[in-house]
Amino acid sequence: MMNCTVYSKDGKELRAIELDDAVFGLPVNDDLIWYAINSELANKRQGNASTKDRGEVHGSNAKPYKQKGTGRARRGDKKSPVLVGGGTMFGPKPRDFSWYLPKKAKRQAIKTILSLKAQSDTLKIIEDFSIESGKTRDLAGLLDNFNPGLRTVLVLKDDDPMIKRAAANIPWLSYLSYNRLRAHDLFYGRQVLMLETAAKNLNGFYGPKNEEAGE
């Protein structure tokens, strides 16, 4: 177990919390992180870009002039890709960009990123809080105590609708629930602010017991 400081909403040290080495104390695996991030980005692509080839462009199939005797180059129909308004050669067609990453590999990548953040001191544990008003200014005032302006990830203990509402208009802040973490957001966050209960839940959610149970 590794000890980590719990901060108050005002940015003051309160107490220590134990974090499981199986979740926050692993060696960094760069390859696994790369696969997890690129898998997420690939799965987000819509893949609906489409162009028309010469067989799909609207127009006549007739030759614009005869093959011989004009002194001009041989010409097919007006839908030829070399003519303005003709078809497109080798253009994109709808396709599926997604690719599968095994569940165990994705879980291991998340734990590796959490370990990286803990070891580089960019992970801070904050006492549980909620924004009852749901107003952005109330959440922004709280975050002013923790390096405001940095690309920040807030890890929640549950789907708190008021925090999500308050965070929607802060451009440098993203929020994640502890049981639905995204490798891309975690890795590129300059700092990770994690609620105390979320940290405790992660100890169990990604801990050895769940790995043995195949969850």
Domain enclosing residue 74, as ranges: 51-91
- Same domain, yes or no: 24 and 66: no
Q: Can you give the pLDDT at residue 2?
A: 79
**In which order are the strands placed within the sheet that holds 13-19?**
13-19, 2-7, 123-126, 191-195, 152-156, 173-177
* Gap between the Cα atoms of 161 and 180, Å rounded: 15
Taking residues 64-83, report their average pLDDT: 92
Q: How confident is the model at residue 121 (pLDDT cuts 50, 70, 90)?
A: confident
Q: Are 73 and 135 in contact (CB under 8 A)?
A: no
Q: Which residues contact 209 (CB under 8 A, 6 or more apart)?
A: none
- Same domain, yes or no: 80 and 172: no
Q: Can you give the pLDDT at residue 158?
A: 87
Phi, psi at residue 188, to the nearest 5°?
-90, 0
- Same domain, yes or no: 77 and 132: no
Taking residues 133-150, report their average pLDDT: 89
Residue 78 tokens read as 């007006």
- 30-41 pLDDT per residue, tens: 999 999 999 999
Taking residues 128-141, report their average pLDDT: 90
Share of the chain above pLDDT 70, in %: 96
Q: Can you give the pLDDT at residue 205?
A: 86
Q: What is the CATH number of the domain that holds 209?
A: 3.40.1370.10
pLDDT above 60 for 212? no
- 80-110 pLDDT per residue, tens: 999 899 999 999 999 999 999 999 999 999 9
- Same domain, yes or no: 157 and 125: yes
- Same domain, yes or no: 81 and 139: no
**Across the chain, what does the average pLDDT equal?**
90
* Gap between the Cα atoms of 169 and 153, Å rounded: 14
- Same domain, yes or no: 105 and 127: yes
- Same domain, yes or no: 196 and 133: yes
pLDDT above 70 for 72? yes
pLDDT above 80 for 207? no
Residue 115, class by beta-carbon neighbours within 10 Å (0-12 exposed, 13-18 middle, 19+ buried)? buried
pLDDT above 90 for 209? no
Domain termination site, one of 91, 119, 144 = 91
Three-class SS state of 124: strand
In 20-177, DSSP assigns E strands to 123-126, 152-156, 173-177
Cα–Cα distances in angstroms (integers) from residue 10 to residues 125, 141, 146, 153, in the given order: 12, 10, 9, 18
- Same domain, yes or no: 137 and 64: no
- DSSP structure class, residue 59: S
* Gap between the Cα atoms of 114 and 122, Å rounded: 10
- Same domain, yes or no: 113 and 147: yes
Domains of the chain: total: 2
